[in-house]
C-alpha cells in the first residue's frame, strides 16, 4: 500500500505517471498515427502494434496491464531506508542517530559536489543520493536543494535525471 508518509515514493509514482501520459501523447501524435489531428474524425479506437484497430475495452485492458507492470516494477525496487529524524527535527535523536544523520548529510553533499565537478547529474548520481537522503533532516535537505539548484542556475550542472530531493 502506498503511504502518504513517503513523499519520495509518491513523487516517483507521480513522475512515472506523468511520463507515461507524455509518452502516450507522443505515440498517439506521431505522423503515421496522428489520431489528434484536427482533419481526422475523433474515434474511441486506437491502433495496436499489429496494425489492427483496438476497441475501447481492449485499449483499457492493455493500458491497465502496462500500468500494473510499471507499478510492480516500481514496488520491486529496493526500499529506501526509514528516516531517522522526525518532522520536529533533531530533538529526541540519540548520539548514534545524530552521527548517522550527519554521515548521510556529508555523503549526500559529496554526491552533489562530485556531480558538479563532473558537470552532469546522472541516474547513478540519483541512485547514490537516494541511499542517503532519507536519513537527513529537513534542514539538511533544504541545504542540499539550495546547493543543487544553485549549481544548475550557474550552469555548472546539466541534468540527465531528476534528483530525489
73-130 tens-digit pLDDT? 776 554 555 554 444 455 667 888 888 889 999 999 999 999 999 999 999 998 888 8
Instruction: Please choose, from the candidates 128, 45, 12, the residue with its C-alpha nearest in 3D space to the C-alpha of residue 2.
Output: 12
6-23 tens-digit pLDDT? 777 778 788 888 888 777
Task: Please give the Cα distance from 121 to 4 (Å, whole number).
Answer: 28
High-pLDDT (> 90) share of the chain, % = 12
Task: Please give the Cα distance from 34 to 30 (Å, whole number).
Answer: 5
Say what the pLDDT of residue 118 is. 93
Amino acid at each position: 500500500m502506498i503511504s502518504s508518509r513517503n513523499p519520495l515514493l509518491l513523487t516517483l509514482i507521480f513522475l512515472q505517471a506523468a511520463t507515461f501520459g507524455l509518452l502516450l501523447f507522443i505515440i498517439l501524435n506521431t505522423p503515421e498515427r496522428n489520431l489528434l489531428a484536427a482533419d481526422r474524425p475523433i474515434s474511441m479506437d486506437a491502433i495496436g502494434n499489429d496494425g489492427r484497430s483496438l476497441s475501447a475495452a481492449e485499449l483499457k485492458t492493455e493500458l491497465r496491464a502496462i500500468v500494473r507492470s510499471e507499478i510492480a516494477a516500481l514496488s520491486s525496487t529496493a526500499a529506501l531506508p526509514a528516516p531517522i529524524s522526525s518532522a520536529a527535527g533533531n530533538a529526541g535523536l540519540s548520539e548514534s542517530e545524530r552521527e548517522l544523520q550527519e554521515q548521510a548529510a556529508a555523503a549526500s553533499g559529496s554526491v552533489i559536489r562530485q556531480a558538479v565537478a563532473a558537470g552532469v547529474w546522472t541516474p547513478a548520481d540519483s541512485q547514490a543520493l537516494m541511499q542517503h537522503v532519507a536519513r537527513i533532516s529537513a534542514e539538511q535537505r533544504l541545504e542540499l536543494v539550495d546547493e543543487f539548484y544553485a549549481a544548475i542556475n550557474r550552469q555548472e550542472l546539466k541534468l540527465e535525471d531528476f534528483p530525489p530531493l
